[in-house]
Amino acid sequence: MATENPPIIFTPASQQRGLAESFREIWDYRGYISYLTKKDLRTNYLKTYLGWIWSLAEPLVTLAIYSLVFGYIMVVERGGDSPTGLNNFPAFLFAALVFWSFFRQSSTSVMNSFSGSLNLRKKLYFPPAAPPIAKVLSKSFELLPEVAMLMVFYLILWGTTGIRTVGPTWIVLLPLMLLTMIFGSGVGFLMAVPNARYGDVGMLFQLALRLGFYITPIIWSLSDFERRFGEGGERPWLLDVVRWSPLTQIVEASRDGIYRLQWPSATTWIYLVVVSFGTFLWGWTRFHRAAGKAAEGQ
């Protein structure tokens, strides 16, 4: 009796598949990807006492630490009040931190899951992109409690301060979640094969993420950076690098829709769509061409 996904011998000839065929193969193995996603969600907090409560506790603790250090000890400039009149550093920080954390988790999980699946691929055939896709899907599900917690946080602010903190611009959360997932996956696919071949790549990537956190306007405002390094400043080129970073565009779009209650510009959306899908296709193409050889230790 024929099976839905017959076993395939992983040979150099079978590696040479077109990009369209690679996407069709992922669709054919959607059942396996769904299984991996559910397994990851079930086992992620399996050996902890708090279980899924950690998905809420960890971002809250992170928010509390950064708010204490940068908001109340160092008193980081946040670019003035929101147009709504809100001036609250934890709210300013939370709106950007959620999407930065999602990018970090999605890119890192895609990168590491490929190298982690190589031993299994020697015994069982499945598309090399299946574990990374399953991993980023599970991270997307884990993002939902954080987004819900963000909404509750702003609702509490509305009730305690009397300043309106929720509006129709909150709908930007949905496309931003999708674009961040696509962009993070693309970066992860770009790094996956080099990381499988050279362990140093993953360590260097973690260092790059640390640097990226501090040069992206997460704990500080882009407007303050523009005043210091803009026209007539010491390093105007640095302002251009920061301003046109995809991560800057993502966190600023998030702050526009959530903290400032204003719509991100059309230029921002066009830029994010082009860069996110372009990065994903670039990463997918490079991954598709090199994943087979990496699986064979080449």
Output the tens digit of pLDDT for each of the chain's 298 residues: 444 554 444 444 344 567 778 888 888 899 999 999 988 888 876 655 555 666 677 778 888 888 888 878 877 766 666 788 888 889 999 999 999 999 999 999 999 999 888 888 777 888 889 999 999 999 998 888 889 999 999 999 999 989 999 999 999 999 999 999 999 999 999 999 999 888 889 999 999 999 999 999 998 888 888 777 766 566 677 888 898 999 999 999 999 999 999 999 999 999 999 999 999 999 999 998 888 776 655 4
What is the rounded CA–CA span in Å between residue 56 and residue 239? 34
